[in-house]
């Protein structure tokens, strides 16, 4: 692990290609003091949970425990607060869902100012589709730099 205090970024090498992944940012207070309280740290493991993601030699995947909670959520029928909560939880994993913003648009429109709350069929389909895609989320891998990018 490499902690770069001037920029406040911690990097870790994963896999055979030693591709560095930014895993967290160091707070401004820690950058100034140049000390860091790390707590319990485990090194040399095949996989681990970091910030709600499972990092392994296969790549980056969603934490199933978090997805199970999202998949058990019931459709919000009458509360903007529930929509905001769902979109916040699901949005954390948006990198695993292609076109997340397009799929979530009916739900996002309910958060607009001066729009009456009407959880219709489009909203229900959007809600169900996001939940389905999260349970089928792919494993994200670093690109193989030996091949040309398309």
All domains in the chain, ordered by first residue: 2-44 (no CATH), 64-135 (3.30.70.270)
Q: What does the pLDDT look like over 119-137, one tens digit per residue? A: 999 999 999 999 999 888 8
Dihedral pair phi/psi, residue 28, rounded to 5°: -60, -40
Residues of the chain with pLDDT under 50: 3, 5, 8, 19, 21-23
Q: Could you identify the residue written with the tokens 């979109």?
A: 87
User: Which pTM does this prediction carry?
Assistant: 0.64
Helix axis angle for 80-91 and 64-71, nearest 10°, is: 150
């Amino acid at each position: 692990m490499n902690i770069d205090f001037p920029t406040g970024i911690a990097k870790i090498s994963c896999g055979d290609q030693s591709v560095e992944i930014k895993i967290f940012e160091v707070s401004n207070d820690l950058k100034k003091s140049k000390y860091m309280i790390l707590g319990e740290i485990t090194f040399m493991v095949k996989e681990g949970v970091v910030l709600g993601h499972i990092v392994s030699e296969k790549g980056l995947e969603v934490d199933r425990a978090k997805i199970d909670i999202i998949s058990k959520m019931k459709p919000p029928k009458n509360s903007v607060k529930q929509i905001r909560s769902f979109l916040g939880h699901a949005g954390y994993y948006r990198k695993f869902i292609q076109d997340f913003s397009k799929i979530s648009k009916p739900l996002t429109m309910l958060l607009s100012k001066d729009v009456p709350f009407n959880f219709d069929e489009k909203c229900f389909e959007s809600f169900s589709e996001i939940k389905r895609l999260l349970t089928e989320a792919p494993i994200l891998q670093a690109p193989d730099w030996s091949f040309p990018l398309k």
